[in-house]
Chain A
Amino acid sequence: MKFGIVFEISVPRPFRPGVEKQVVDNCIEQAVLADQLGFDQVWAVEHHFLEEISHCSAPEMLLSAIAMRTEQIRLGFGIAVCVPQFSHPARIAERAAMLDVLSGGRAEIGTGRSATWTELGGFAADPDETKKTWDEYVRAIPRMWTQPTYSHQGRSFSMPERAIVPKPLQDPHPPLWVAVTSPGTEVDAADRGLGCLGLVVGGMKRQEKTIDTYRRRIQLCDPVGSFVNEQVNTVNFMYCHEDPAHAMKRGAQLSDHFNYLAPQQLFVKEIYPTQSYATDGLFSALRQESTSSGDPMRIPDGIAIGDPDRVIRSLKRWEAIGVDRVVFILNSVETIPQAEVLDSLRLFAREVMPAFGHTPAIGSTSAGEVA
């Protein structure tokens, strides 16, 4: 199992001058440490207009800054929103390729279509169309990367023949993923040979069934890219501390803040009736998953919050049902002091990662400890 981190860039009110910079600087520091500790990936989401919960509207720029300061960690650009009013597909292909070049071939691209009216309405996008435009985009982008020139006459976009440059450094191109939050999207992922990103819906039993469906379907896929990216990547919270009570307290702060802020947005499903949006998307799914009952200390099984032993047990459950990667939300509106976030990462690397076959990396002791 591989581990990573994911940034929403949630910013606490009041929005004083400099507060966004402080949060971004903290994210970069976390990513640099994660790289040193042997974490495999860092993802940055694309969200727009989501005050407090996510000020991450230009993820590839954040990832470029991280790329310049790191050596090994892979850089997940996404979810890149595949809706014309947000970005032309050529712009997604260009930005992803530049990130790949800058990082020496470490880019991965997540695709999706947004679930909030806050975002879709802000760009005057049609919620009925987003599944169709996503489909057109994921078939176009790999060709833009691999063909010398590209032209298209389509439903959501058309363009005359052009050279879309730069080309990615990775040969043939970066791995492609899709956000899977609505039931059935795992089939879309499998049929197109895409990685399954962000599966958090419905608890372990449901997950197991979803992953099984994905694994079976992808054997028969017609890949949109030049290769099949058969991987399952989930999103989780993480706070790890030797003292179980402190870990639970801090971890609950993290998940509670995230879960309180996320539903303040306006979801498509609430106000625009359409079969295209049967669920509220990732925020809602993660919220349900992390607030379900079942743990005497309030944190449900499967959430990577606790002392190292508990975190290992939680992650072993995901591993057992076929999850390849887990990416962690480390903070929300800076509710956990940065020093504690960094210590949590170090402890995770030192005590948890070896249980999954990783060798402890240099730097996995906290600043005050003797290595």
Chain B
Amino acid sequence: MPDFGTLSVAAAEIPVVDRFVTEPVEITDATLLQVVCEIGVAGQLAVLPPALHPTSPPIAIWQLLEVGESPWGAFRLASIRVGARAATKSRSFLVHAFVDNPDAGTALRESWGFPCVDAEVGLRVGHDRIAGWADVGGNSPFDVELEDPAPIASGSVYYAPSMNLAATPLGTRLLQVDPEYLVKSVARGRPQVRHHPGIVDDRLAPTWPISATAATVDITLPTIRFVCDPALPAAQGTETITPAAS
């Protein structure tokens, strides 16, 4: 049996989700920068809850999402996830989220369990590089870059569904947030991450670059269909959300 995460979820400060979202939200023509790097083996288990297995090797995923129009107005969201498996399913565990629009932050926190922190979030798209960063009160947790973007087939990029930890009516749960992505165009390039310890978990420091992509996407933020007890293996602790429970 593979290892399980060892994160103490009781000690974590987590978003409160009073009711599970029942209507999806559609976002069009967003820009999504994603950088994937390996992280250290030593700390990976401590970052994941016991419901999830680590990937082998451990990875972190940095995302910068720029949205021009949404029910909450334009916003930019920066996030860091850790690659994981819920039993045999490919997942990521959301560790940090930074947003530059408080209304969007509230909605993402209360409906999908994003642990949003107010921040300045930037995304700059150039022909030579695409750069993204977050800034919290003058301190930058990280900045990422895709260098030398070159178009690739839109079907080749993959976004792992996210598991977001939240206090819910069912108790502390991992919310499975699996947006639908319609990838309209995507470019791939060399990844670069500068990790600045302090604001984000030091165990997420990148150790080996893997890939960087920047895509134009339509995203459907989903209803919550599954949640998982973070203390139990996902194969045992997953629950289906019925409309009555929402």
Query: Looking at the complex, which of B23-31, B53-61, B123-131, B218-226 is the stretch in contact with chain A?
Result: B53-61
CB neighbours of B153 from chain A (8 A)? 275
Expressed in whole angstroms, the Cα–Cα distance for A221 and B56 within the complex equals 39
Flag if B210 contacts A271 (CB, 8 Å). Answer: yes
CB neighbours of A117 from chain B (8 A)? 57, 210
Across the interface, A121 reaches (CB within 8 A) one of B1, B156, B210, B213, namely B210
CB neighbours of B55 from chain A (8 A)? 264-266
Given contacts A121-B210, A264-B2, contact A271 B87 (CB under 8 A): no
CB neighbours of A274 from chain B (8 A)? 152, 156, 188
Expressed in whole angstroms, the Cα–Cα distance for A262 and B88 within the complex equals 8
Q: A28-65: which have CB < 8 Å to B?
A: 49-52
Kindly state the interface size class of chain B when it binds its partner: 20 to 34
Name the distance in Å between A115's Cβ and chain B's nearest Cβ: 14
Expressed in whole angstroms, the Cα–Cα distance for A13 and B53 within the complex equals 14
B116 contacts the other chain (CB 8 A): no
Across the interface, A270 reaches (CB within 8 A) one of B2, B53, B88, B90, namely B90
Cβ-closest chain B residue relative to A284: B88
- Annotate A228-262 by CB proximity to B: 1 below 8 A, 0 otherwise: 00000000000000000000000000000001111
A273 contacts the other chain (CB 8 A): yes
A269 contacts the other chain (CB 8 A): yes
The total of chain A residues at the interface (CB under 8 A) is 26
B9 contacts the other chain (CB 8 A): no
A-B contact count (CB 8 A): 70
Flag if A51 contacts B56 (CB, 8 Å). Answer: yes
Given contacts A270-B160, A274-B156, contact A118 B1 (CB under 8 A): no
Name the distance in Å between B83's Cβ and chain A's nearest Cβ: 7
Flag if A266 contacts B59 (CB, 8 Å). Answer: yes
B157 contacts the other chain (CB 8 A): yes
Centre residue among B57, B59, B83 by max chain A CB count within 10 A: B57
Q: A268-321: which have CB < 8 Å to B?
A: 269-275, 278, 287
Expressed in whole angstroms, the Cα–Cα distance for A262 and B89 within the complex equals 11
CB neighbours of A50 from chain B (8 A)? 56
Given contacts A121-B210, A271-B36, A271-B210, contact A266 B57 (CB under 8 A): yes
- Annotate B76-100 by CB proximity to A: 1 below 8 A, 0 otherwise: 0000000101011110000000000
Centre residue among A13, A50, A271, A275 by max chain B CB count within 10 A: A271
CB neighbours of B152 from chain A (8 A)? 273-275
Flag if A275 contacts B90 (CB, 8 Å). Answer: no
Name the distance in Å between B109's Cβ and chain A's nearest Cβ: 27
Given contacts A118-B57, A264-B55, contact A271 B88 (CB under 8 A): no
Cβ-closest chain A residue relative to B183: A273
Cβ-closest chain A residue relative to B157: A273
A172 contacts the other chain (CB 8 A): no
CB neighbours of B168 from chain A (8 A)? none
B38 contacts the other chain (CB 8 A): yes
CB neighbours of A260 from chain B (8 A)? 1-2, 87-88
Residues of A bordering B, CB below 8 Å? 13, 49-52, 117-118, 121-122, 259-266, 269-275, 278, 287
- A-B contacts besides A51-B56, A269-B158, 12 pairs, CB < 8 Å: A13-B3, A49-B56, A260-B2, A261-B2, A264-B2, A264-B56, A266-B56, A266-B57, A266-B59, A271-B210, A272-B36, A274-B156
**21 A-B contacts (beta carbon < 8 Å):** A49-B56, A117-B210, A118-B56, A122-B57, A259-B88, A260-B2, A260-B87, A261-B2, A263-B85, A263-B88, A264-B2, A266-B56, A266-B83, A270-B160, A271-B36, A271-B158, A272-B211, A273-B158, A273-B186, A273-B213, A275-B152
Closest 5 CB pairs of A and B: A273-B156, A273-B157, A263-B88, A272-B211, A264-B2
Residues of B bordering A, CB below 8 Å? 1-3, 36, 38, 53, 55-57, 59, 83, 85, 87-90, 152-153, 156-158, 160, 186, 188, 208, 210-211, 213
